[in-house]
Amino acid sequence: MTAVLSPRALDRATLARQLLLDRAEMEPLAAVEHLVGMQAQVPTDPYTGLWSRVRSFDPFELGHAIRERAAVRGPLMRGTLHLVSANDMLRLRPVVQPVLERAFASSPFIRSLDGVDLEAVAAAGRAILDERPRTRVELGASLGERWPGVDEEPLAYSITFRLPVVQVPPRGVWGERGQATWATAEGWLGEPLADPDVDDMVRRYLGGFGPASVMDAQAWCGLTKLGASFERLRPELRVFADEAGRELFDLHDAPRPDPDTPAPVRFLPEYDNLLLAHADRTRVVADDFRRRFTAGETRNRGTVLVDGTVRCLWGIEREGDTSSLTVEPIGRLSKTDVAAVQAEGLDLLSFLSPETSERHIRIEPSSR
């Protein structure tokens, strides 16, 4: 008989995989690989995410890895920017390439390129970026010289969607700023892309986010028709069900803690894969909050886990030598929870605003 996992059991299992039950004694790059990459549309998001997951996290160590090309930022799962190890960029990008190509084919840019030989554009774009990294504006200008009369912006976007590319430093390096400047992944890393291995990616996903369904995995990466991969892997996987009867898969040796395991308060960045990695996200996010999240109401604010689920939003403001962290609870918090949120929030504020001498945290009245 198939074992049924409650939402709380799924929550604790996922938090354990995500290093959110207890901070890990792990090097930053090893943690990034364990997590199968980190959402990185906002360049500082991976640093906040790792601070909540890695004990004694040193942001300069991760920044050094990016400078040394051991870690890179580029379009991957769901077509969005992720921070991954160099090795994972070479392994994962070929698998999710159809996601990027599908996104470009359905974008408004494609209408401006009707009749243009996109393969010729891709070849020219590769040569331009391998010569030296360029911003999209610079890339578009160079391509426009070869395709006069064609809108330069769609030409540039065709390259950053259709070719495996990365953003180069100083973009994404802790304490530094820089324009989004692109290079080809192979040119920047000096190694060829690996052959696509969907089954390996599914195993990695389950290790970081399981137990999970086929639909969950597809929501995480953006690919379709992953059922065939799960069927190939079925003999080596454990099979569970959720309370709705959906089939869930998992690695045999992956942690599945007791549902009563305590879950500490954790602050997550605006975009965190924990909130984006399942079709059914009720293990960590209530449906009413998910609707606010997908509608963009939470833009520029992170989330706070209390007892393992999203219970607050947070944001930071800086003025002169003062930094303030504001927390908006979603529902009522106990006095114990409030104290834990305040303590963790002040520690986060010290991490994110070390240059300010005055730091304050404010917990607003509940939003409902």
Two tokens, residue 190: 């000096």
Mean pLDDT, rounded, for 92-111: 95
Contact 167, 181 (CB under 8 A): yes
For residue range 219-252, list pLDDT tens digits in order.
Answer: 999 999 999 999 999 999 999 999 999 999 999 9
Q: What pLDDT, on a 0 to 100 scale, did the predictor assign at position 117?
A: 96
Q: Which residue has the tokens 């909130």?
A: 275
- Average confidence score pLDDT of the chain: 95
Residue 361 scores a pLDDT above 60 = yes
What tens digit of pLDDT does each residue of 293-327 get? 555 666 789 999 999 999 999 999 998 899 999 99
| Cβ partners under 8 Å of residue 14, min gap 6 | 209, 210, 274, 283, 284
* pLDDT band with cut points at 50, 70 and 90 for residue 266: very high
Tens of pLDDT, residues 120-129: 999 999 999 9
Q: What pTM was computed for the model?
A: 0.94
pLDDT at position 365, please? 83
Mean pLDDT for the stretch of residues 29-57: 97
Burial of 106 (0-12, 13-18, 19+ CB in 10 A): exposed
Q: Name the residue with tokens 């820089």.
A: 178
pLDDT of amino acid 255: 97
Check residue 1 and give its pLDDT: 81
- Look at residue 300 in the predicted model and tell me its pLDDT: 80
Q: Tell me the two tokens of residue 295.
A: 């509608």
Q: Does residue 198 surpass a pLDDT of 80?
A: yes
From CA 22, how far away is CA 76, in angstroms rounded?
28
d(CA 140, CA 307): 48
Calculate mean pLDDT across residues 101-118.
93
Mean pLDDT lowest for which of 51-55, 113-117, 289-293? 289-293
Q: Where are the alpha helices (DSSP H) in 163-276?
A: 185-189, 198-209, 214-221, 227-233
Rounded distance, CA 68 to CA 60, Å? 12
**All structural domains of the chain:** 23-189 (no CATH), 266-361 (3.40.630)
Quick: pLDDT tens for 137-158: 999 999 999 999 999 999 999 9
Close Cβ partners of 273 (under 8 Å, ≥ 6 residues apart): 18, 35, 36, 37, 38, 39, 209, 220
Residue 290: which H helix or E strand, with range?
A: helix 287-294
User: What are the strands of the beta sheet with 4-5, ordered from one edge?
Assistant: 4-5, 237-242, 247-251
Instruction: Evaluate if residue 289 carries a pLDDT over 80.
Output: no
Q: Per residue, what are the HEC states of 305-339?
A: EECCEEEEEEEEEEECCEEEEEEEECCCCCHHHHH
Residue 291's pLDDT band (boundaries 50, 70, 90)? low
Predicted pLDDT of residue 290: 64
Q: How many CB atoms lie within 10 A of CB 67?
A: 15
Share of the chain above pLDDT 90, in %: 91
What is the torsional sign of CA 172, 173, 176, 180?
negative
Which pLDDT score, from 0 to 100, does residue 298 have?
Answer: 66
The answer, yes or no, to whether residue 168 has pLDDT greater than 70, is yes
Residue 268: what pLDDT? 98
For the segment 20-24, the average pLDDT, to the nearest whole number, is 97
Residue 357's pLDDT band, with cuts at 50, 70 and 90, is confident
Q: What percent of the chain has pLDDT over 70?
A: 96
